């Protein structure tokens, strides 16, 4: 299916797509290039997908950009990833803003280096009033850590006496997740897509993805483009979502 055809089809009702962008290292290894070359090509894939997303009916695109576990990688690779993040925001911000994209972040991103945090805050604030695609980057993010932060917030309220533990509901915990705390809150993802053929969530949106459709493609992230996105959304459109009802 072409991008144009999928645009007509409307993406089968998928409004919020979350993507685990996997395969940069294998892409580079297959070409006997350093891993940073794969990450650089991955940034180009981000650009292609962000450009294609609105025409395919997506309202929210959440990208797993840097996990809390990624700190375990070699220091030079982590430095390269942070540099690419900084470069992307600096060089794409004006284009994103001009196209009406609203940029948000989830995760413990405010624990990054102060100058990077300031850059991210500036980008978020500049695009806050935009009404087009919401582009959400998960930075220094881990689903388990997110749930722990929400549980700690509820526990603090219980200790302060403003909340009885017996009154805690799943809705209350969900309201304290990162995705609820960004300005305006985020809807739950309709689907989680993973590139490179791997079959695991890797600690991504563990709570939010409870009833999301899981989409997998063998395409490595640096090779991903609008046509591949259209194909994934076409796959989603063929699913029957049951939400545990039957």
By annotation, the residues acting in catalysis are 22, 70
Which sign does the torsion angle of CA 34, 18, 79, 101 carry?
positive
Q: Residue 138 and residue 106: Cα distance in Å, rounded?
A: 5
Alpha carbon dihedral 86, 90, 95, 98, in 10-degree steps, equals: 120
Phi-psi region of 148 (alpha: psi -120 to 50; beta: other; left: phi over 0): alpha
Q: Residue 41 and residue 25: Cα distance in Å, rounded?
A: 10
Write the CB contacts of 162 (distance below 8 Å, at least 6 apart in sequence): none
In 110-242, DSSP assigns E strands to: 134-141, 191-194, 213-216
Residue carrying the six token digits 């350093």: 34
Q: Are strands 191-194 and 16-20 parallel, antiparallel or unpaired?
A: parallel
Q: Residue 200 and residue 180: Cα distance in Å, rounded?
A: 24
Copy the structure tokens of residue 29. 């290894």
Contact indicator for 186, 136 with CB cutoff of 8 Å: yes
Three-class SS of residue 200? coil
């Amino acid at each position: 299916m072409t991008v144009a055809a999928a645009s007509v089809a409307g993406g089968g009702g998928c409004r919020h797509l979350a993507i685990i962008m996997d395969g940069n290292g294998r892409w580079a290894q297959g070409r006997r290039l350093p891993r940073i070359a794969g990450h650089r090509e991955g940034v180009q894939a981000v650009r292609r997908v962000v450009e294609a997303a609105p025409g395919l009916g997506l309202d929210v695109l959440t990208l797993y950009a840097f996990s809390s576990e990624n700190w375990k990688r070699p220091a030079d690779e982590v430095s390269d990833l942070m540099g690419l993040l900084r470069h992307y925001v600096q060089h794409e911000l004006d284009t994103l803003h001009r196209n009406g994209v609203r940029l948000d972040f989830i995760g413990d991103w405010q624990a990054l280096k102060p100058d990077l945090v300031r850059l991210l805050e500036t980008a978020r604030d500049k695009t806050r009033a935009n009404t087009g695609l919401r582009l959400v980057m998960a930075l220094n993010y881990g689903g388990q850590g997110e749930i722990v932060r929400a549980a700690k917030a509820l526990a603090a309220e219980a200790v302060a006496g403003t909340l009885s533990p017996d009154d805690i509901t799943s809705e209350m915990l969900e309201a304290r997740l990162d995705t609820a705390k960004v300005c305006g809150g985020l809807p739950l993802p309709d689907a989680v897509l993973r590139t490179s053929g791997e079959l695991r969530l890797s600690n991504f949106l563990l709570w939010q993805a409870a009833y999301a459709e899981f989409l997998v493609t063998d395409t490595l992230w640096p090779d991903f483009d609008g046509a591949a996105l259209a194909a994934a959304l076409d796959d989603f459109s063929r699913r029957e979502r049951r939400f545990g009802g039957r």
